[in-house]
Structure 1
Amino acid sequence: MASVAAGYLPILLFLAVALILSCAFVFLPMAVSRLTGAHKPYPEKLSEYECGFPAFEDSRSQFDVRFYLVAILFIIFDLEAAFLFPWAVSLMGTGWAAWCAMMIFLGELVLGYVYAWKKGALEWE
């Protein structure tokens, strides 16, 4: 029974170190800023700000959907860029079939970019 519990000791140590470090990274900067005098709150600094409009208005008010459109486009193009890195690293060992598949993928990416550009999704008024 003791040997089974001893097998979990590295996991418990890892969890303890992770908990201590995460608490240090969260609470230590707050304590240092309070002690060094960097903590000077004022109403504008403490106000919440999300999606380009104040959070203290009516919750049923309408707002522009372009905020979501920009976020979705960023996520799409960012994920496609993330797919390019592993492919570029292993390019020498993949062969022509993988190269052709990536060129098709990049062609679809360019088509999506041109479509978003023509629809005006990348313009901000």
Structure 2
Amino acid sequence: MFTMMMFMTIVTTLMLTMIMIIPLVNMHKQLKREKMSPFECGFDPFSKPRVAFSIQFFSISLMFLIFDIEMTLIMPIPLLKFKINNITWMFSSFLLIMILIMGLMLEWKEGSMNWL
């Protein structure tokens, strides 16, 4: 019993020592500029910090976010027909669709969707 415990202690000590030594031996000695820099959404962190941000990219991402939220509101409309009465369902569906259409018309009128 004592020898088995001594053997397990030695094996465990060796394994822990190897676990602590292997990362030190395997460390890369040369640290490159790209490896040391953080990745920031495709922007080069070593350039000027105040680079002009593309308003078109921001508009596209904002429209995508809005239309994505709209889809989460539109998807349960057919399922709600069986849960509430028809008049309430038609009124709420019509109101939601009209708000979305008016928002689309406003974006189109102000030129948010023009890429030029």
The answer to whether structure 1 residue 111 and structure 2 residue 102 are counterparts is: yes
Q: Secondary structure at the match of 1:77?
A: helix
Alignment-derived partner of residue 87 in structure 1: 77
- Percentage of identical aligned residues: 19
- Looking at structure 2, the residues matched to 79 and 61 of structure 1 have their Cα atoms a distance apart, in angstroms, of 30
Deviation at 1:49, TM superposition (A): 8.1
What is the TM-score of this pair, normalised by structure 1? 0.52
Alignment-derived partner of residue 61 in structure 2: 71
Deviation at 1:93, TM superposition (A): 2.9
Runs of at least 4 residues off by over 6 Å:
none
- Which consecutive residues of structure 1, in runs of 5 or more, have no partner in the other structure? 1-42
Deviation at 1:84, TM superposition (A): 1.2
The answer to whether structure 1 residue 62 and structure 2 residue 55 are counterparts is: no
Alignment-derived partner of residue 18 in structure 2: none
Deviation at 1:100, TM superposition (A): 0.5
Q: CA RMSD in A?
A: 2.2
Bigger Rg, structure 1 or 2: 2
Structure with higher RCO (Cα < 8 A, 6+ apart): 1
Q: How many residues align?
A: 77
Please give the per-residue CA displacement for 1:88-114, whole angstroms capped at 9, x wherever unaligned: 222133221122012111101000001
More helix per residue: 1
Q: Which amino acid aligns with 2:70?
A: E
Q: Which amino acid aligns with 1:55?
A: D
- Looking at structure 2, the residues matched to 49 and 61 of structure 1 have their Cα atoms a distance apart, in angstroms, of 13
Q: Which amino acid aligns with 2:106?
A: Y
- Looking at structure 2, the residues matched to 55 and 91 of structure 1 have their Cα atoms a distance apart, in angstroms, of 51
Summarize the alignment of residues 1-125 of structure 1 with structure 2, pairs less than 5 Å apart.
50=41, 54-56=43-45, 57-95=47-85, 96-125=87-116
